[in-house]
Amino acid sequence: RGVQYRAVAYQDLVRSSGAIISMSRKSNCWDNAVMESFFSRLKVELIYAEKFHSIQHVKSCMFEYIEIFYNRKRRHSALGYLSPLEYEQRFA
């Protein structure tokens, strides 16, 4: 619910890309529990554990964490302890 997300220019840009704007209720992290969980894991499993030397290093590590580890290998309790890729393949 930050001011940057309520800015008219930002909302116009989001809508022009075909996305739907969604904001949680004030002071209620449960409205966005999935993303809160993701960012918590990202910080613990990557950010706090790594020393970054450049913006390119950050970008490379983020890509590897999300695309290689988080989506393909990391087990998620909300998905019955399957990775997102395994879950999608099993139930698609």
Assess whether 69 and 28 both reside in one domain.
Answer: no
- Give dist(CA 19, CA 11) in Å, integer: 10
> Which residues, given as ranges, of the chain have pLDDT below 50?
none
Q: Domain residues for 34?
A: 1-49
Residues 45 and 86 in one domain: no
| 59 plus 38 within the same structural domain | no
Q: Is the pTM of this model over 0.85?
A: no
32 and 73 together in one domain: no
Q: Based on the domain organization, do 7 and 44 belong to the same domain? A: yes
DSSP state, 64?
Answer: I
pLDDT of amino acid 29: 63
CA distance 86 to 32: 23
Hey, what are 45's tokens? 């499993």
Are 42 and 56 within one domain? no
Are residues 41 and 83 located together in one domain of the fold? no
Question: pLDDT tens-digit profile of 3-19?
Answer: 777 889 999 999 999 99
